[in-house]
Amino acid sequence: MEDAEIRSDDDEERRDWDGEERLAHVRVALDLLLSHTYVRRSVTPPTTTTMADRGMDGLTGSATVVVSGESLDGALASTSRPFRAIRSLPFAAGGHQWRLLFYPRTVLSGFFAAGAELLTGGKVRARFVVTASVGPVQRVLVRTSPPVYFDYSDADIQVVYQNRGWLSEIEPMVADHDLAVVFEMKLTVVPDEPPPAEDRDSAAAVGRMADDVPPSDMAQQLEEVFNSKEGADVAFSVDGEHFAAHRVILAMRSPVFRAAVYGGMKESDRGSSAPPITVDEIRPAVFGALLRYIYTDSLPPAITRTAADDDDDVDEHQQNGTGTGNDDMTCDLLVAADRYGVERLKLICERSLCKRLNAGNVADLLAMADRQHCKTLKEACIEFMATSGRMNEVAASQGYTQLRSSRPLLLLEVLEKSAKFCKD
């Protein structure tokens, strides 16, 4: 350990303290005196510098301040300002830089203080021990700080206070024997304090409460509204069958319905007494499935069935060269979704048909995909014809015969892309 004498620096500019700021520090110090651990803002103007012991590594570091008798007399003089600290050189502990501070006078009359200052960024929890000794008789004073937080952003300094009577007792000894007072600090960085058990239990209880929250039942409630027709204010007539609905829900989900139920319609024509809106070229079952999807996002069984579910129907309809009944429902719902601008439902129907392609329905689905501008379904149909090895079965279907007579250019596109598939 290397010690050095305090060097006087009285000519350095000192900070004036107004009465309000002084009073604020007195209040802080008095409030914290009861706990023997104190925190205040770093407002000490620099005065003197000493050497520091850099010999410790890891989480613990140490520093030393040596105060000669002459310097101690000056520091204890009544003209000396409170908060004028004697500082050590920086030392390392726990990956941070620190400094030992010695305050011969404080705003607490009759007390001196020693503490630590965090010099690098972050918020760190540490504890420290301050030892003061003098001369060969080793009149030792030890003050210990419990683990406390240092916050660099707030310029916190943590200090421990001691009655100045101890300094008064040793002052004659220091003066008579030309001794010095040695203040040594050992500071250790400690882990963050875990939350109290009651806080952990509270957090766990909150987590359990979050798990207990039931799922949303909005879709179920909307389905009840759809089934009960309560509050319906618009009606549709589809092939003689009537459907009641709610304008605001239809307008929210479909731009075409919005124009139909609001656009250009007089206020007197609105309400349950208004005549129904006639809908042509759509089956009642398809229109009902469309409305149910608009209310609840639920799909009819015709779309949710898989290709394996349709195997029996496929065999029967392939003998007749036609698609399955589920294909018909899905195709009609796709056309209805396209007609009313329900894009998500259209995409769902398109993907469902892509998974159910076979030699009996691929030609019909290709023609429909071309009419409805379903690019994904169209490409899937062409790829099936080109790569399935079942083109003879496809050509024997009724849909292929109709496709050849009504859309010959589409078959030419199939041939061109088939050649590309063969090259790949």
How far is Cα 189 from Cα 164, in angstroms, rounded to an integer?
29
Determine the pLDDT at residue 409: 87
**Rounded alpha-carbon distances, angstroms, from residue 373 to 52, 350, 366, 411:** 81, 11, 10, 16
The residue extents of the domains of the chain are 19-189, 217-298, 304-424
The reported pTM is: 0.49
Name, in order, each residue with C-beta under 8 angstroms of 419's C-beta and a sequence gap of 6 or more: none
3-state secondary structure the chain: CCCCCCCCCCCCCCCCCCHHHHHHHHHHHHHHHCCCCEEEECCCCCCEECCCCCCCCCCEEEEEEEEEHHHHHHHHCCCCCCCCCEECCCEEECCEEEEEEEECCCCCCCEEEEEEEECCCCEEEEEEEEEEEECCCCCCEEEEEEEEEEEHHHCEEEEEEEECHHHHHHHHHHHHCCCEEEEEEEEEECCCCCCCHHHHHHHHHHHHHHHCCCCCCHHHHHHHHHHHCCCCCEEEEECCEEEEECHHHHHHHCHHHHHHHCCCCCHHHCCCCCCCEEECCCCHHHHHHHHHHHHHCCCCHHHHCCCCCCHHHHHHHHHCCCCCHHHHHHHHHHHHHHHCCCHHHHHHHHHHHHCCCCCCCHHHHHHHHHHHCCHHHHHHHHHHHHHCCCHHHHHCCHHHHHHHHHCHHHHHHHHHHHHHHHHC
How far is Cα 385 from Cα 410, in angstroms, rounded to an integer?
13
> Which is more confidently placed, 2 or 333?
333
Structure tokens that stand for 22 in this block: 């002084």
Residues 113 and 160: beta-carbon distance below 8 Å: yes
143: confidence class by pLDDT, cuts 50, 70, 90:
confident
Side chain identity, residue 363: A
Determine the pLDDT at residue 314: 47
Structure tokens that stand for 304 in this block: 């949710």
CATH assignment of 304-424?
A: 3.30.710
Query: Which one is the CATH code of 217-298: 3.30.710.10, 3.30.559.10, 3.30.70.1400, 3.40.50.2000?
Result: 3.30.710.10
Model confidence at 244: pLDDT above 90: yes
Model confidence at 9: pLDDT above 60: no
Model confidence at 269: pLDDT above 50: yes
Say if 19-189 and 217-298 have the same CATH topology. Answer: no
Q: Mean pLDDT, to the nearest integer, of 259-265?
A: 80
Model confidence at 161: pLDDT above 70: yes
37: confidence class by pLDDT, cuts 50, 70, 90:
very low
Q: Which has the minimum average pLDDT: 222-226, 318-322, 347-351, 418-422?
A: 318-322
**Rounded alpha-carbon distances, angstroms, from residue 175 to 50, 76, 169:** 20, 13, 11
CATH assignment of 19-189?
A: 2.60.210.10
Find, among 240, 326, 341, the residue nearest to 294 by Cα. 341
The per-residue pLDDT for range 219-236, each reduced to its tens digit, is: 889 999 999 999 999 999
